[in-house]
Amino acid sequence: MGERLDIILFGVTGFTGKHALGYVHKFTSDKGRHLTWGVAGRNEVKIRTILTNLEKETGDTSISQVPIILADLSDLQSIQNMSQKARLIINCCGPYRFMGESVVKACVEAGTHHVDVSGEPSYMEKIQLDYNEKPKKRNLHC
């Protein structure tokens, strides 16, 4: 994969990721937007099944061409590799207090924007305290 994708949806096989997938597809498919996107997770078979289901649901045959990035929170190198392949990571892997920091850290190091759906106050405070200055200096949003 040469150029960075605009968006990677990480955790696409989980509860939140499955719900976010349709929105990412719709957002990137709207006319006038030329955004590239991919999905990431641990299990390629499950990811392909979810993409196939979305393809059937939408009738969009281009979904079969969506890049799949294998990334596992227990393998930090895979998280770093994923973060280097996108301009924005949408992280749907929680609970974030246990699983979120490694993705934020990898994104900051890779110069990649990051967003998650955490509602966990202690996690959000920790990330803000530990990762506020470096992203700001690099004009990143985390």
User: Angle at CA 38, nearest 5°, toward 87 and 10?
Assistant: 80
Distance of CA 59 to the CA centre of its chain: 23
Report the predicted TM-score, pTM, of the whole model to 2 decimal places. Answer: 0.92
For domain 5-137, the question of CATH label 3.40.50.720 is answered with yes
**CB contact at 8 A, 101 and 126:** yes
Residue 87: the pLDDT is 97
Residue 103: the pLDDT is 97
Please provide residue 93's backbone torsions phi and psi, each rounded to the nearest 5 degrees. -100, 105
Number of Cβ atoms within 10 Å of the Cβ of 64? 11
Domain boundaries, the chain: 5-137
Give me the tens of pLDDT residue by residue for the chain, a chain 142 residues long.
568 999 999 999 999 999 999 999 999 988 777 899 999 999 999 999 999 999 999 999 999 999 999 999 999 999 999 999 999 999 999 999 999 999 999 999 999 999 999 999 999 999 988 888 776 777 776 6
In whole angstroms, give the CA distance from residue 93 to residue 15: 9
Close Cβ partners of 87 (under 8 Å, ≥ 6 residues apart): 4, 5, 6, 7, 112, 113
Q: Edge-to-edge, what's the strand order for the sheet holding 68-70?
A: 68-70, 37-41, 5-10, 86-91, 113-116
